[in-house]
Amino acid sequence: EPEVTQTPSHQVTQMGQEVILRCVPISNHLYFYWYRQILGQKVEFLVSFYNNEISEKSEIFDDQFSVERPDGSNFTLKIRSTKLEDSAMYFCASRGGRKGELFFGEGSRLTVL
Amino acid sequence: AQSVSQHNHHVILSEAASLELGCNYSYGGTVNLFWYVQYPGQHLQLLLKYFSGDPLVKGIKGFEAEFIKSKFSFNLRKPSVQWSDTAEYFCAVIPSSGGYNKLIFGAGTRLAVHP
């Protein structure tokens, strides 16, 4: 069964460093998302991406965050200068059509020290 | 704006007990509804979904949910829980009209099943 894959599974970084989280969505999917889950809290929407541009972003997704789909397969989330409060599990998701479920990856755990 | 409320934040049951987790959403239009499960240390997995048709949907592992449109509810049920059902359960909703609408999650319900 096709799946969304994410790398790395766990990254530890120092505050202020740049981090890139990578995702390979399901190959024929058109809609892409990043969510995050701070430990013990709810799953929060960060950003959605369609047709090579951001379609919606949340208040969390400030200027420190960016997304890119550089080569038609990868979908990356970059955090320019990490803060302690960016420590969370980041989930990538993709969706095939206008209607349908989101398929989630296994997540990338980011720990900012 | 759409939102999802899960009324029980933490539920503790004994094995073989029946389970019902409440979920209510607020949105004026047609929605697709989901329940996701997150086992300890793992990622989100889809339990079941409702798009249209029979409001009683059956998912994996013996779970089912009933969509009651008049109550804006999509409660999750299981007649007899097992220890392996210990996990966090998230209700989620997405408008069914648009293409790039986002999935909105409830706060989650943490279920602990004791042997």
Counting residues of chain B whose pLDDT is more than 70, the rounded percentage is 96
Q: What is the mean pLDDT of residues B75-84?
A: 97
Average pLDDT over residues B101-114: 92
Model confidence over B17-29: pLDDT tens digits? Answer: 999 999 999 987 8
pLDDT reading at A13 higher than 70: yes
| Interchain proximity B43–A106, CB inside 8 Å | yes
Distances (CA, A) of B95 to A37, B1, B58: 22, 11, 21
The per-residue pLDDT of chain B, averaged, comes to: 91
pLDDT in tens, B85-103: 999 999 999 887 755 578 8
Tell me the pairing of strands B44-50 and B31-38.
antiparallel
Starting at the earlier edge strand, list the strands of the sheet with A5-7. Answer: A5-7, A19-24, A75-79, A65-68
Place of tokens 């994410």: A6
Mean of pLDDT values over A78-95: 95
Query: How much is the pLDDT for A54?
Result: 94
3-state secondary structure of B104: strand
Tell me, rounded to whole angstroms, the distance of Cα A54 from its chain centroid: 12
Q: Which residues neighbour B94 within 8 Å (Cβ) at sequence distance 6 or greater?
A: A102, B31, B32, B34, B101, B102, B103, B104
Mean pLDDT confidence for A67-74: 88
- pLDDT at residue A82, as a whole number: 96
Shortest alpha-carbon distance between residue B3 and chain A (Å): 12
Structure-model confidence comparison of residues B105 and A96, the more confident one:
B105
Asked whether the beta carbons of A80 and A62 are under 8 A apart, the reply is no
pLDDT of A96 above 90: no
* Distance from the B88 Cα atom to the nearest Cα atom in chain A, whole angstroms: 10
| Mean pLDDT for the stretch of residues B61-72 | 95
Residue A63 has pLDDT above 60, yes or no: yes
Q: With beta carbons under 8 A apart, name residues in chain B contacting A55.
A: 100
- Tokens linked to B41: 């240390």
A101 vs B34, B43, B102: nearest CB: B34
What is the average pLDDT value for chain A, to the nearest integer? 92
Helix, strand or coil for residue B84? helix
| DSSP 8-state assignment for residue A87 | -
- Over residues B35-65, the pLDDT tens digits come to 999 998 788 889 999 998 999 999 999 999 9
Contact between chains at A42 and B105 (C-beta distance less than 8 A): yes
